[in-house]
Structure formats: C-alpha cells, structure tokens
Amino acid sequence: MYQETESPASKPETAREKTAPTPEEKERKEILARYRALLRAVQPAIKSTEDRKRIKKAFETALAAHKDVRRKSGEPYIFHPIAVAEICAKELNLGVTSVVCALLHDTVEDSDLTLDEIESMFGREVRQIIDGLTKIEGFVDTSESIQAENFRKILLTLSNDIRVILIKLADRLHNMRTLEYMKREKQLKIANETLFLYAPLAHRLGLYRMKTEMEDLALKYTEPDIYHDIVSRLKKSEEVRNRFINSFIQPIKKKLTEQGFKFEIKGRTKSIYSIYNKIKNKGVPFEEIYDIFAIRIIIDSEPQNEKADCWRVYSIVTDFYQPKPDRLRDWISFPKSNGYESLHITVMSPTGKWVEVQIRTRRMDEIAERGYAAHWKYKESSIETNIDEWLRKVRAVLEQGDQNAVDFVESFKLDLVTEEIFVFTPKGELKALPTGSTALDFAYEIHSDIGDHCLGAKVNGRLVPLSYVLQSGDQVEIITSSKQKPKEDWLKIVKTSKARHKIKQALREEKRRLAEEGREQFERKLRHLGFTFSEKDVPKIIRFFQVPNIQDFYVRVATDVITNNDIRRFYKEELSRSWYDYFRKKLRRSPSEGKKETTPSAPTLQELLKKTHRSEDSLIIGDNVTNLDYKLASCCNPIPGDEVFGFVTVNEGIKIHKTNCPNANTLLSNFAYRVVKARWTSSEDIAFQAGITIRGFDDVGIVNRITRIISNQLKVNMKSINFESNEGLFEGRIMLFVHDTQHLEDLMEKLRHVPGVIAVERMG
C-alpha cells in the first residue's frame, strides 16, 4: 500500500536508480500526488487523526478494488474516485464521511467487496450511502427499462440521505469533464441525461457553479459547432468587456471604500449554455445580448446587518447609475426555496448599455455557489428550513408509486427549473410556488383535501376562477365545497407536479369506484336480460363497444353511457355471429385447410429492436440497402450531412431525428434503449425537404430576388413559400428540397448576400 511519508525523492542521491522511472512507477507517483491533493482539499474538515485514518483506509480499499482496471482514457480507474472525492471536498464543501463514500462509491459495483464488509470497516452510515450510490448505478446502467423510471428511482434516494445525490452529482460532473474519451453515441446519451435531470437537480439544490458547468459541457457535445463559436466570440470580446467593467466599477469602489465596507467586486460572464438558450429561444444575435455579463458586489457583513448593508450598497450604485424599475429582484426579503439570496438590479451605464448588478454578502455568495452543501457552515441561516421543506415535498410525491414514470419526471423537472413567485395565505403565511401557478395550485399547496374540494378563490379580496394565474404578492383565500370533486380538465389548469399528481390520484380512485359500481350493475342487468357473462366475452365487449379496456366499459355502464339496450344488442348480435361462424366453418372445411396464404404483418417493436441491435452497424439512410422501415421525423426534417440517430417507434417503424432535434433530449434520456445509430449514404439523386427563415428590410422586389436565386440560379425546387411584412421588416419561411447540408448551406450563403437580407437561418 501507499505510504505518505516515503517517496523516491526522500532517498539519498547515491541510493536513487540511475535508470528512468518505469510507466508503473510514474503511475504510482501520479496516484500518490492526486491522493495528497485530495487530503489538502479535505483538510479543513479533518478534526482528528481518526478522520485522516478513515480517508487513508478508504483510499487503500478503493485502490485494491480497482487494481488493474482502467478508464476509457487509458488512465488507472482510481483517478476517478479520487477526483469525485476532491469535488465533494473542494467544490461542495462536504465532510470526511462524504469523501470516504466518494472514494468507495464504485467498489461494491465493480469488485467482490460487499456492503457487509463496507459496514464492518467504515460503519453503518457509510454502508447506507454506498448502498444508495450502488443502486443508482444499477438503475442508470440498465438498458432494459425506460430511463424516466430510472430517474425516479434515483430521486427516491432523497428520502434517505441527501449526500447520496450530492456524491452522485459530483460523479456525474467528473464523467462530463472526461466525456471526450467516450464514443459519440455514448457522449450524446450522457450529455442529454445531464441536461434532462442532473443539471436541473443541481440548480434546485442551489449548486449554481456545478449546474452551469454541467450545462456548458453538455452543450459542448450536443452542439459542438455552436459551443465553440460562442467560446470564440466570448474570447474575442473579453478585452473590451474587461475595460468596460473596470470603468463601470471605479466610482462604486471608491464610494464603498469611503463608507467603510469590506468588499469584492467582480464581473461574471453569462454561461455559454445561457447565451445559447437566449440566441435559440429569443432569436437574439450574440452582439445584442445586453446581459452577457453581470457585476457582482460581495460585502463582508454581520448576520444581523446583512439586509440593511445590501440596501445601502443598492443606494450607492443607484446614486451613480439610473436603475430600471421593472428589473429589480429582491431575493433577500424573499429567498428562493433553494436558499438563494441576492439583490439584483439593472442599471444604465454611461455608454447606454444596460448592466445587471448583483449585491450579496459573503455568506449569500457561498450559498449561491455551493447551494445545499453550504448550509452546514451557516446553521443559523434560513436555508436549512427552505431545503428541508422542499425535500419533504419531494418525498411526498416520490412515495406515491402509481404515477406514470415519464409524466412524473417531466412534471418534477418543471418544478426543478421554474422560477418562483411568493403569495400569502389570509393569515399572512408566505408560500412559494412556480411562476405561472394558478389558484388551484395554491389550494393543493395548502392541503390535498382543500385542492380536491376547491370551487374558486378570492385574490386580494376579488373573486377569481380556479385557472387564475397568481402573481407575487397576491393574498389568496380558497373557497371550497364538500360537493366539489377533481375533474379531468383540472390537469390543464395546474402547473405544479404536486397538484397534478393529487388530481390524477383522485381521478384514478374515482374511476376505480365507478368501475366497481359498473361491474355490479352490468351483472344485475345480465341476470335481468337472461344472459350469462363469461371472461371469454371480455375481448368481444372491448371490440364491440370500442373501449380501451374492460374497466372503461364498466365506468360507462355506471354513468349510463352504455344502456340496457346496448347490452341486449351486443349479446344478440354476438350470439348470432357465434352460430354463423360455427356453421361457416363446418360447411367450408376442406382438406387443404391450414395452407392458406397470409399477408406479412408489419414488424413489431420487439422485432425492430432485435433487427437494429443485431450488430454494431449503423442504419443507412438514403438508399435501398436496408430492409428496415424508416421515416424522416417531421419535427426536425433531417437532411444528409446532419448528425442523426434512429428511434424505434411503436407503430411507425424507425423515425430519423437530428441529434439537436427539439425532441432529442427527451428521447435520448427517457428511451435510450430504443435508439439506434444511423448514418447517411452518399447519394445526390435524392431530394430532402428542409426549411429556411429569412429576415430583412421590406423593399420592393425583395421576394422576387430571393425566389429567382433559389429557382433560376441554384435550380432548387420549392414546396411552399410564405412572407409577412410588419413596420418595414419582413420575415419569410420557405420549404424547399436539397441534397444535403452542404447544398443547403451554399443556398443560405447566397441568400445572405442579397441586398436587404439581414439573416438567413435553417428551420428546425
């Protein structure tokens, strides 16, 4: 085992080997160096010699468990648990137990070490955390079940120990940092999983720094060209940006110093992923994003003076620069439920640019960066209460196991990332809800019984319907009735996963009750009509009444949608058909029976999966060499040159999607086991549909010039064209047929040079 006190450098010169160190010796030296770096990172949390011994024992146990195992990069596997442990110590501020568990997190999964042995060496607490981490690995690595169900199980670990999730987030972060060594399809899967759940979860736990890095790294692999373009643009504008920041903060620094503040001021550049989202969702060019950076003022302040000191700084800033009233965000008076506290203002600079200024204390800044992990350091803060309240809500939803997994994860993810509003009960109690929440959401937030019987609400003394969208500062009183019951259309009203889950639960319970009642009614009606029910009749009933299942049939009986006459007609027709079929078979039976020709049916989902996973070959698109049925997805209209993947649908064969399709994130995260590799054949004889958007100045003849270039110069066929003009600007959408991405890019480049055209972009 490794000895911390010995190294080749400590030996006398005469005792050293003259030859160069072997690769094995270099590796041992590197492992020891990384272990020592970990010890330096965890040093503030080490309280005794016993703590140091536990860490060393965990390191040696992991080293033995992963002996001779290597990562995809070719490095010793032990590098990974050491790196995860260092992230826990250095970036999440976790303690000795978490570091021990991080070192051991893959040992039970990847070696003969058992949980019982872990418990005997490190205690029950470490065993429970390792057990949770091992179960997560089992969920995520399987390809047999839907990813959404795996994520649900991951989240269930919140019920046991939050450190399981924090260590798992550290594990995922290090995997993202070393993703370059994975195959392309694996990169896409892991990156999309990260965007789908892990980054939103880090955000909800207040781990801003981790969430930002995860998103940026995911973008690097899902949209590499866009990622590198934004990085390049940020680098080019860095010097100008720094000069502007230094000029902007000079008068503020001087005044803060005069007022006796101890402070730090720094510029924070918007994350690459945030810039990408703004460009993509709002159509804003990079050059026009005004909040590409923000100024952060961090002050040293005593706990009792924090709020007052932050507002004093606000006063100083607004003495120099005019604030924008509608951009004030006071998260000091109303902290976010993940513990985030800060004062955000947007002010006008002398050069005419809007600048966001964030004001916070040292404590607030550490919580903003480290999130939940920082609350152990600041026990007196409100973050523990806020986070624990959120965890209670999570557990309440997770413990209900009867919800569809995909629906659950989608709605839960919405709760993870949505901004919040703050509303009051009639007695003045403050409640935090996602932005866009309705009066009905508020009712379920108070109690599920109040939600189930909610008739309406009074907001600020005024009567409003259930669908009324609440605003921050509203005071809400819920009106209930014992006769009210949840309805199907309530699902379209609510925003929160808690309300949605409770409504679905109540509807299912009501449906079960009606089905039971309907079954009894059906059996009574049969006895009255003189018919006998058999289980063999169930498929015929479903087919005759066109219902999805027998439960729905019983519900319709209970609600009189299906009457006595309907049941009588079914049995009479079915009885007649049975006799007719019997005699037809008797009359038509012949020696050649059993040799009838059959029409081949469409391949089932299982057959398609079996075919597509038969080998490592990709599905080839664009020629007739494959016998698999595929279609190009209309949601993204892929064309040759686009990076694509195949998705095995239930009824429509294989759909081909671009890897940056709007639906790719959900498909790759929830249904990874139905994804197949795909590539284009090199054929220029096939035309593929693509769409472009053109924006520019509305000038006489502009449309004619554009269409002439497309049709006459480039000989491209158009399927449809639509132009709209508004206040001197136009926007056109053209669907056309091209051979591949290069063909389309050449066309777009030509159009960009048309006088009056501002931008040409591909649709989808």
pLDDT at 106 over 70: yes
**Confidence class for position 575, pLDDT limits 50, 70, 90:** low
- Percent of the chain exceeding pLDDT 90 equals 24
Active site residue 369: no
Higher pLDDT, 285 or 348: 348
Query: How far apart are the C-alpha atoms of 190 and 217, rounded to whole Å?
Result: 11
Three-state SS for 157? Answer: helix
DSSP state of 322: E
In degrees, rounded to 5, the angle at the alpha carbon of residue 509 between the alpha carbons of residues 503 and 515 is: 135
Nearest of 660, 654, 652 to residue 626 by alpha carbon:
654
What is the residue-wise DSSP string for 252-297? HHHHHHHTT--EEEEEEEPPHHHHHHHHHHH---GGG-TTSEEEEE
**pLDDT of the residue at 299:** 95
Q: What is the pLDDT of residues 728-749, one digit of tens each?
A: 678 889 888 888 888 888 888 8
Average pLDDT over residues 326-352: 86
pLDDT at 34 over 90: yes
**Confidence class for position 712, pLDDT limits 50, 70, 90:** confident
**Confidence class for position 625, pLDDT limits 50, 70, 90:** very low
Average pLDDT over residues 473-501: 87
Average pLDDT over residues 126-135: 83
pLDDT at 152 over 80: no
Query: How far apart are the C-alpha atoms of 59 and 86, rounded to whole Å?
Result: 12
Sheet holding 675-680, edge to edge: 619-621, 675-680, 644-648, 654-658, 630-632
For the chain, the maximum distance between any two Cα atoms, rounded to a whole number of angstroms, is 108
**pLDDT of the residue at 224:** 93
In degrees, rounded to 5, the angle at the alpha carbon of residue 350 between the alpha carbons of residues 347 and 353 is: 55
Q: What is the pLDDT of residues 441-452, one digit of tens each?
A: 999 988 889 999
Phi, psi of 80 (to 5 degrees): -65, -55
**pLDDT of the residue at 389:** 59
**pLDDT of the residue at 139:** 45
673 Cβ contact partners less than 8 Å away, ≥ 6 residues apart: 143, 144, 145, 146, 609
**pLDDT of the residue at 396:** 58
**pLDDT of the residue at 155:** 61
Indicate the Cα dihedral angle 712, 714, 720, 726, nearest 10°. Answer: -80
Query: How far apart are the C-alpha atoms of 670 and 666, rounded to whole Å?
Result: 6
Task: Please state which architecture CATH assigns to domain 23-222.
Answer: Orthogonal Bundle (1.10)
Nearest of 102, 119, 4 to residue 45 by alpha carbon:
102
**pLDDT of the residue at 635:** 84
Higher pLDDT, 156 or 735: 735
What is the crossing angle of helices 147-156 and 383-398, to 10°?
A: 130
Please write down the long-range contacts of 417-424, taking CB distance under 8 Å and 24 or more positions apart.
417/200, 417/203, 417/204, 418/495, 420/336, 420/337, 421/470, 421/471, 421/472, 422/334, 422/472, 422/473, 423/470, 423/471, 423/472, 423/473, 423/474, 423/475, 423/476, 424/473, 424/474, 424/475, 424/476
Nearest of 494, 503, 445 to residue 469 by alpha carbon:
494
**Residue ranges per structural domain of the chain:** 23-222, 234-381, 386-493, 507-582, 605-680, 688-762
Average pLDDT over residues 526-538: 76
- Whether residue 717 contacts residue 737, with contact meaning beta carbons closer than 8 Å, is answered with yes
The domain made up of 386-493 is a member of CATH 3.90.1150.10: no
> How far is CA 294 from each of CA 201, 676, 758, rounded to the nearest angstrom?
24, 43, 29
What is the residue-wise DSSP string for 569-601? HHHHHHHHHHHHHHHHHHHH--TTTT----PPP
Catalytic residue among 30, 109, 229, 698: 109
pLDDT at 86 over 90: yes
Residue listed under structure tokens 């042995």: 117
Q: What is the pLDDT of residues 76-85, one digit of tens each?
A: 999 999 999 9
**Confidence class for position 141, pLDDT limits 50, 70, 90:** very low
pLDDT at 369 over 90: no
How far is C-alpha 73 from the geometric centre of its chain's CA atoms?
A: 27
Query: How far apart are the C-alpha atoms of 166 and 101, rounded to whole Å?
Result: 11
- Whether residue 61 contacts residue 78, with contact meaning beta carbons closer than 8 Å, is answered with no
Phi, psi of 70 (to 5 degrees): -125, 155
715 Cβ contact partners less than 8 Å away, ≥ 6 residues apart: none
Higher pLDDT, 262 or 407: 262
Query: Helix, strand, coil shares of the chain as percentages rounded to 5?
Result: 55, 15, 30
pLDDT at 358 over 70: yes
**Confidence class for position 17, pLDDT limits 50, 70, 90:** low
What is the residue-wise DSSP string for 479-527? EE-TT----GGGGGT--SHHHHHHHHHHHHHHHHHHHHHHHHHHHHHHH
Task: Output the CATH code of domain 234-381.
Answer: 3.30.460.10
Query: How far apart are the C-alpha atoms of 391 and 754, rounded to whole Å?
Result: 57
Q: What is the pLDDT of residues 593-603, one digit of tens each?
A: 444 444 444 45
Handedness of CA 248, 254, 259, 262 (dihedral sign): positive
Query: Which fold is adopted by the domain 688-762?
Result: Alpha-Beta Plaits (3.30.70)
The pTM assigned to this predicted structure is 0.65
Query: How far apart are the C-alpha atoms of 266 and 504, rounded to whole Å?
Result: 48
Active site residue 356: no
Higher pLDDT, 729 or 74: 74
**pLDDT of the residue at 278:** 86
Query: How far apart are the C-alpha atoms of 460 and 446, rounded to whole Å?
Result: 17
Catalytic residue among 60, 110, 566, 643: 110
452 Cβ contact partners less than 8 Å away, ≥ 6 residues apart: 484, 485, 486, 502, 506
Average pLDDT over residues 463-484: 87
